[in-house]
Amino acid sequence: SQQGEEDPQALSIQEGENATMNCSYKTSINNLQWYRQNSGRGLVHLILIRSNEREKHSGRLRVTLDTSKKSSSLLITASRAADTASYFCATTNAGGTSYGKLTFGQGTILTVHP
């Protein structure tokens, strides 16, 4: 079953603009992570936010988490053509014995035009 749902499914912007992607999930989580995937390659971890955190920054990335709404957003500021990729949110469920397994959403395809 899909835990995370990204929105929008596709986003097309110009270089220099900001890109915002949203993720919603259904169950209580331990943490939420964002990954990037370049075409035909594996996923690369971008940022992890714990369930007791509300905002986190890493370079041009800003992630927010609202556990009351079960949603997260990823903001990429001053986008570059090299940011063109698919972006996925993924969650680790709270409680139980999850062994750190992640449940992924369907992803947002970001295209940044030079």
Whether 71 contacts 22, CB under 8 Å: yes
DSSP codes, 7-55: E-SEEEEETTS-EEEEEE-SS-EEEEEEEEE-TTS-EEEEEEEETT--E
Contact pick of 12, 14, 18, 98 for another protein (by CB under 8 A): 98
Of 58, 54, 60, which is closest to residue 73 (Cα–Cα)?
A: 54
Q: Does 71 bind another protein (CB under 8 A)?
A: no
Span near another protein by CB under 8 A; candidates 15-23, 55-63, 64-72, 90-98 = 90-98
At its nearest, how many Å lie between another protein and the CB of residue 14? 26
Q: Does 91 bind another protein (CB under 8 A)?
A: no
At its nearest, how many Å lie between another protein and the CB of residue 8? 14
Q: How many helices (H) and strands (E) does the chain have?
A: 0, 11
Q: Tell me which residues in 4-43 interact with another protein (CB under 8 A).
A: 4, 30-31, 33, 35, 40-43
Phi, psi of 73 (to 5 degrees): -135, 150
At its nearest, how many Å lie between another protein and the CB of residue 54? 16
Q: Does 105 bind another protein (CB under 8 A)?
A: yes
Contact pick of 83, 84, 107, 110 for another protein (by CB under 8 A): 107
